């Protein structure tokens, strides 16, 4: 009785192996026909890690069985490789690596940043006759106002935009009415406390800055050295150069309204020669262009 049971088990195992092999073989034949219909020249021998596909099929035809303990056959390996050839992401591992998301764009170089002066024609008209900028104790807005357009920023990086005004030279000037010219009158007065105007929209992304014209029309100039309102402190009858600074967030630790602008790879400074001006408490040159100022 026990011998019959062992024979039945052995027969069942051989039958199962034969049926699996037969299914695998027929499945491979169907795939080969599909490849041939598509006109693809792929060698299944190259895809089979255990040798030519025909060897397995011949073994099945002659009744040779795979080892009963073997979970994988040459046919199953070929099937997997064929699927991987037809689809780059056929396994969970490939899907995970392929669906990892876009690689973050490299941080734009500070060298790519450009600043363009707006109302440049108006500034040039003033520059041609000698721009004068009124300063008062209470503080006075600039006219023309500084407005710029910034490009080349990293859209995802955070930036501060700031402006300061520095002396052009170490001279004091006076206006000569009969020749309508500014002349050197002596050495400059003692330096004033440093002031930096940080644009009120700071801190903002590069994308935000590049979408708008950056205006400094709220900045005020004063000759009050004791000013506590955050205005830019300047001496009267001196020449000054406005400067616009683009400051990356990671270089902003030393940024302060009462300290010089920090320097480093994360800071880029721009100035425009046509924006140089001479500070006055009242217009010295009575050219009609000065009457265009908006009060």
Which region holds residue 285: left if phi is over 0, alpha if psi is between -120 and 50, else beta? beta
pLDDT (tens digit, 9 = 90+) per residue, 26-75? 555 555 455 455 554 444 444 444 444 444 444 444 444 444 444 444 44
| Rounded percentage of the chain residues whose pLDDT exceeds 90 | 57
Looking up tokens 């041939």 gives: 36
Residue 3 DSSP SS3: helix
Q: Is the pLDDT of residue 284 over 80?
A: yes
CATH number of the structural domain 112-291: 2.60.40.820
Check: CB of residue 272 under 8 Å from CB of residue 122. Answer: no
Check: CB of residue 183 under 8 Å from CB of residue 250. Answer: no
pLDDT (tens digit, 9 = 90+) per residue, 107-152? 568 999 999 999 999 999 999 999 999 999 999 999 999 999 999 9
* φ/ψ (deg, to 5) at 137: -65, -40
Domain assignments of the chain as residue spans, ordered by start: 112-291
* φ/ψ (deg, to 5) at 282: -155, 150
Q: Which of 32-36, 99-103, 133-137, 173-177 has the weakest average pLDDT?
A: 99-103
């Amino acid at each position: 009785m026990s011998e019959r049971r062992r024979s039945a088990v052995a027969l069942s195992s051989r039958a199962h192996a034969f049926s699996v092999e037969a299914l695998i073989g027929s499945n491979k034949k169907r795939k080969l026909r599909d490849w041939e219909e598509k006109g693809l020249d792929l060698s299944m021998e190259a895809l089979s890690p255990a040798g030519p596909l025909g060897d397995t099929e011949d073994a099945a035809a002659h009744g040779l069985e795979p080892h009963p303990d073997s979970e994988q056959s040459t046919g199953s390996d070929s099937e997997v490789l064929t699927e991987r050839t037809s689809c780059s992401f056929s396994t969970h591992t490939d899907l995970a690596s392929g669906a990892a998301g876009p690689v973050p764009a490299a941080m734009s170089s500070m060298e790519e940043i450009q600043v363009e002066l707006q109302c440049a024609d108006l500034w040039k008209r003033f520059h041609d006759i000698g721009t004068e900028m009124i300063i008062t104790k209470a503080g006075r807005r600039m006219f023309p106002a500084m407005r710029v357009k910034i490009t080349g920023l990293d859209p995802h990086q955070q930036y501060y935009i700031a402006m300061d005004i520095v002396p052009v030279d170490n001279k004091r000037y006076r206006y000569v009415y009969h020749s309508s010219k500014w002349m050197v009158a002596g050495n400059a007065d003692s330096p004033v406390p440093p002031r930096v105007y940080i644009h009120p929209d700071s801190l903002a992304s590069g994308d935000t800055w590049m979408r708008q014209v950056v205006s400094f029309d709220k900045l005020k100039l004063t000759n009050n050295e004791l000013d506590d309102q955050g205005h830019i402190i300047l001496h009267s009858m001196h020449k000054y150069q406005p400067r616009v600074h683009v400051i990356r967030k990671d270089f902003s630790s030393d940024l302060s309204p009462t300290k010089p602008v920090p320097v480093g790879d994360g800071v880029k400074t721009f100035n425009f020669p046509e924006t140089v001006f001479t500070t006055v408490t009242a217009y010295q040159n009575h050219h009609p262009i000065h009457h265009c100022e908006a009060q």
